[in-house]
Structure 1
Amino acid sequence: MSAAAWGPAGARTGSPGPAIRLVLRSLATDAHRLPSADVLRLVRLIRASSRFDDAEHLPAAVECLLADPTPFADERDLLSGELLADAAPVIRGLSPQGCLSLLTALAYARTVALATILAAIDERLAAPDVRDRIRTDPDLAVRLADARDRLRPSS
């Protein structure tokens, strides 16, 4: 997954992007059942790959790290913070589903500075192309609103 070669030697292969995204999503789904040290190691290994694309893979990587916040919480928060430190440019290009994944993952964040990330997500969700997509998918609109509401401080 993180090696320089992708696919059989000499074969023309497509981008590993979808496969990386699939592995990260699977890892996020199973993070609560896997040893936390393994989740951290795998996310670091995939993130270090030259084939890791922040715009395509960052939400899924963050979701992996925040899926099971109990063991290694400080180390997970640190790595999540590193991934999100310069996330605003990435967020500006996320799909509505990417925004939803990131909002869902952020519900488990403890030390990530949410204000900057939420402002970037709100800006992205207000973009005309995303607004049009949300208007045509009421279910997505509801899920985005619910995920965003969970991040609001309780009064």
Structure 2
Amino acid sequence: MISGYSKNGLASEAVHLFKRMRKVAKSLTPDSVTLRSVILACAQLGSTELAEWVEGYVQGSEYRDDLLVNTALIDMYAKSGSIAHAHAVFERVNMQERDVVVWSALIGGYGVHGHVKEAMKCAGVKLNDVTFLAFYQRATTRVLWIKGGATSTP
């Protein structure tokens, strides 16, 4: 149910159901899919307070070191503009486990919020006129798509 709500734009309902599940059925332990779904819902709502609440829950759970859950947290914070929080979660991910998805979540967050130099530094790319223009174009396109109501970029 939580996943269905999250994937269909019913973020508030997803978060409400997750909180209710935790309160009513304390013996039920959410799995990785449930956690990623509620993280997605928090990202859709853009609430820093909810983001910190769900991260706190994850940190106290068995999924604290789960790569997919941490990638979802990075993406959630990046989308909400909390780049420092996104970077802090990124730093907790084991260096050997950092894959292209983890890196993309962080770098994309930097870029979409106008932190092009930080994104390039994080990616290990030397900033020159060509790389700056390419990155700027991508970030600008993403911002325009999001402001236009799209949920993903071309």
Structure 2 unaligned blocks of 5 or more: 117-154
User: How many equivalent pairs are there?
Assistant: 110
Q: Distance in 2 between matches of 1:120 and 1:83?
A: 13
Structure with the bigger RCO (C-alpha within 8 Å, sep 6+) is: 1
Pairwise mapping of residues 51-90 of structure 1 onto structure 2 (< 5 A)?
51-53=28-30, 57-67=34-44, 69=45, 76-85=47-56, 87-88=58-59, 90=61
Percent of aligned pairs with the same amino acid? 13
Secondary structure at the counterpart of residue 107 of structure 1: helix
Relative to structure 1, the CA distance from residue 120 to residue 93 in structure 2 (aligned partners, 3 Å threshold; closer, same or farther) is same
- Normalising by structure 1, we get a TM-score of 0.51
Q: State how far apart, in whole Å, the 1-side matches of 2:89 and 2:74 are.
A: 11
- Asked if structure 2 preserves the Cα contact closer than 8 Å seen for 1:62 and 1:105, the reply is yes
1:19-30 → structure 2 map (5 Å cutoff): 23-30=1-8
Report the CA distance between 1:81 and its aligned residue.
2.3
> In the TM superposition, what is the alpha-carbon distance from 1:107 to its structure 2 partner?
2.9
Matched, 1:101 2:76: no
Please list, as runs of the form range in 1=range in 2, the aligned pairs for 1:4-153 lying within 5 A after superposition. Answer: 23-31=1-9, 34=10, 37-48=12-23, 49-50=25-26, 51-53=28-30, 57-67=34-44, 69=45, 76-85=47-56, 87-88=58-59, 90=61, 92-94=64-66, 96-110=67-81, 114-116=83-85, 118-126=87-95, 128=96, 130=97, 141-152=99-110
> For structure 1, which runs of at least 5 residues remain unmatched after alignment?
1-22, 132-140
Q: Which amino acid aligns with 1:66?
A: A
Higher helix share: 2
TM-score normalised to the size of structure 2? 0.51
